[in-house]
Amino acid sequence: MPRYLLKFALCLLLAGFSGGVFAQTRAWLDRDSVRAGETVTLNVESDGNVGGGPDYSPLYEDFEPLDSKSNTRIEPGNGGMVARSRYVLTLRPKRSGRLTVAALRVGGVYTKPLNLYVEPEPADTQPAIASSAQVFVEVVPDDENPYVQQAVGWLVRLYSSVPIVGGKLDQPVPDGASLMKIGDDAQYERNIGGNTYTVVERRYLLVPERSGRMSVPPAAFDGRSAPSLIDQLVGGGGDPQHARSKSRVLNVRPVPANAPQPWLPLRSLDLRYRTTPQQLRMGNAASVVVEATVDGASLAQLPELQLPPIDGVQVFAEPVQADEGFTGGRPRVKLTRKFSLVPAREGPVHLDGLRLDWWDVAAGTARSASLPALSWTVTPASGAATGSARATGPAAD
């Protein structure tokens, strides 16, 4: 091929890939809450040519870096093919408390800083195992005395001090409850009695459907460990591994007589306005964005976020945006919903504050979360005057 044609072909090939100018880089943790002594996995992904991997040095003050790995793959993207690189680093926090995973430089761009909470672990929370156990299973409910229809975080952890090459981890469903797996399994390391264990953590949402004593069957693991070097040399296939957790009993409490209806058992519920309009004008749509932060429930258990009717204003609600997670051994969710307000007449209008009644499962009492009321004066479409929003209730968070 003539040299000028070869150069032209190379230019076309390079033009098909997203360059560093358009690179998108993001970072995330496999968990946002860990216990002291556990590891957490940091993932950094970048599209395009960023000129090398992340600079991890800002992490060394608060974290001990352990295993790292990376891979690059070519995928279709906007404007052509994209070279997408993934960098994975296992970190062990050096202290407990709220830590910040610093922003990392990847080529000429930076990731966003991340938050991690490291829970102090009392000495009496170590799993009770025989010192010789290579593989064992434990289950951890976030509440052993829940109410009917309360969302109980149910963690199943498989510990192994030997490499596992395959197997099945299962948690049978107890009578009188629903059980649903939440998210992907997390994997990390934990030191117990001077031994390092690889932990596979599986998260479930258990919801009791009736009150009384509930026996939860043991979680079980059946699989095989990797062969040792001697087994590999002589053609061995490793050892079978079987483990069962202890049975757990939950004492399910009935719905209290003084509980608000609809029944909503939670750990906490906070409401706030993310945005509110400063004015309303005929012929223009204005936006109100409401955010609810809920501890102790999944999206499916929560009532719909809906503004009260506004006399003289049409309200159009967009679909709810939900960010569900599993933190501190139980489900948490953040709901965001945008409402468009379209005035139908001029003059004063009033929005009553949204209110949600719920039951505090920790304190055993009824509570309410509410937003302050808002008022506006709707101005003409071509008028020069503006109407300011006025809160007529307690201030929003």
Q: Could you tell me the mean pLDDT of each successive run of 10 residues in the chain, 397 residues long?
A: 43 40 75 83 79 85 88 72 84 90 88 89 58 84 95 95 90 95 88 86 95 96 80 62 92 96 95 94 93 93 92 94 85 94 94 95 95 94 53 45
Give CA–CA dist 383/397, Å, rounded.
Answer: 33
- For the chain, state the CA radius of gyration: 27
* Cβ count near 325 (within 10 Å): 16
Where does 265-391 sit in CATH, by number? Answer: 2.60.40
**Cis peptide preceding 262, ω within 30 of 0:** yes
Where does 126-252 sit in CATH, by number? Answer: 2.60.40.10
Pick from 271, 260, 266: which is nearest to 363 by CA?
266
Burial class for 249, CB neighbours closer than 10 Å (0-12, 13-18, 19+): exposed
> How many CA atoms lie within 13 Å of 243's alpha carbon, on the beta-carbon side?
24
Is the separation of the CB atoms in 64 and 94 below 8 Å? yes
* Residue 195 token pair: 């031994």
Is the separation of the CB atoms in 263 and 358 below 8 Å? no
User: Cα dihedral sign for 10, 15, 18, 21?
Assistant: positive
Give CA–CA dist 221/334, Å, rounded.
Answer: 34
Burial class for 9, CB neighbours closer than 10 Å (0-12, 13-18, 19+): exposed
Which phi and psi angles does 208 have, rounded to 5°?
-65, 140
Topology adopted by domain 16-119: Immunoglobulin-like (2.60.40)
Given this model, what pLDDT does residue 283 score? 83
Max alpha carbon distance in the chain (Å)?
Answer: 90
Give CA–CA dist 305/285, Å, rounded.
Answer: 20
Pick from 220, 160, 162: which is nearest to 190 by CA?
160
Give the angle 37-38-39 at the CA atoms, nearest 5°.
125
Given this model, what pLDDT does residue 262 score? 93
Is the separation of the CB atoms in 25 and 90 below 8 Å? no
* Residue 90 token pair: 């296992």
Which phi and psi angles does 231 have, rounded to 5°?
-60, -40
Is the separation of the CB atoms in 82 and 75 below 8 Å? yes
Within the chain, where are the H helices?
A: 3-15, 229-234
Strand partners, 33: 117
pTM of the model: 0.72
Given this model, what pLDDT does residue 14 score? 38
Given this model, what pLDDT does residue 122 score? 58
124 in helix, strand or coil? helix
* Cβ count near 262 (within 10 Å): 9
22 in helix, strand or coil? helix
Strand partners, 336: 291, 321
Give CA–CA dist 39/98, Å, rounded.
Answer: 15
Q: Do 126-252 and 265-391 have matching folds?
A: yes
Give the angle 342-344-347 at the CA atoms, nearest 5°.
105
Determine if residue 58 is left, alpha or beta; phi over 0 gives left, psi from -120 to 50 gives alpha, anything else beta.
alpha
CA dihedral 351, 353, 354, 356 (to 10 degrees): -160
Given this model, what pLDDT does residue 120 score? 82
Per-domain residue ranges of the chain = 16-119, 126-252, 265-391
Given this model, what pLDDT does residue 50 score? 54
Determine if residue 320 is left, alpha or beta; phi over 0 gives left, psi from -120 to 50 gives alpha, anything else beta.
beta
